[in-house]
Each structure stands twice: as C-alpha cells, then as structure tokens.
Amino acid sequence: MTKNIGLQAAMPKSECDDELCPFHGSLSVRGKLVQGKVVSAKAPRMVVIQQEFPRIVKKYKRYARSQSKIHAHTPPCIGVKEGDVVLTAECRPISKSVSFVVVEVVS
C-alpha cells in the first residue's frame, strides 16, 4: 500500500518491498528538500546528485556559481536513471554519507 509522505510529490506507479522506501517502507522524511541532477547511478539503490546554487562573493559583491554533491537512497519503485532531475527529501542517516531519499523524478 502506498503511504502519504506529507509532500506534494507524485506517488510512484509501481510498488516495492524496500524497507527504506518512504512510500512503501517505514522510512519517514523530514527537513530539507533538494532538487538536483543525477550524475551517477552506479551503486545499487543509491545515486549521486549534483545541485547548483549561487554563492555570494563579498569582495566583488557578486554571485558565483557553486555546486555540491549529495548521496541519496533510491527505492526501486522510482525508476531513476543517470541524467534525470530528481527531488530528494532529507531522512534519517541511512549510512555514513546517505541521509537523503529520492521521492520524485522531475524530468
């Protein structure tokens, strides 16, 4: 059964039996939402997401483009491929570097 996770993200069409799925498992999401591009989907059920944001440079009073990468868990019911733009939500730490989970494929 698909659970309401409290976000305005689209529900996945298929079901999965991943315990760490916010829709079908027991993982709850809270905190930040991060949208970014998937730059690597090589690891099983984990993707690397790159986000770009403006960073102010005080000396020149201008913005510089800055980017950072985060690791996010991907349940199998959300088919994520490399190059997709995805929405991730913060969750409890799943491993040393993973504390986000993919909730929607934006494009």
Cβ-Cβ contacts under 8 Å for 60 (sequence gap 6 or more): none
Six token digits for residue 6: 């409290």
Cα distance between residue 61 and residue 38, in whole Å:
31
Q: Which CB, 16 or 34, lies closer to Zn ion? A: 16
Q: Which is nearer to Zn ion, 7 or 56 (CB)?
A: 7
Contact residues: Zn ion, CB under 5 A: 16, 21, 23-24, 75, 77
Query: Of the two residues 36 and 75, which places its CB atom closer to Zn ion in the complex?
Result: 75
Determine the Cα–Cα distance for residues 7 and 40; give it in Å rounded to an integer: 25
The CB-of-7 to Zn ion minimum distance in angstroms stands at 14
Going by their DSSP bridges, the two strands 62-73 and 98-105 should be labelled as parallel
Q: In this complex, which beta carbon is closest to Zn ion, that of residue 44 or of residue 60?
A: 44
CB 39 within 8 A of CB 49: yes
> Shortest distance, CB of residue 54 to Zn ion, whole angstroms?
34
Min. distance of Cβ 77 from Zn ion in angstroms? 3
Closest separation in Å from C-beta 21 to Zn ion: 3
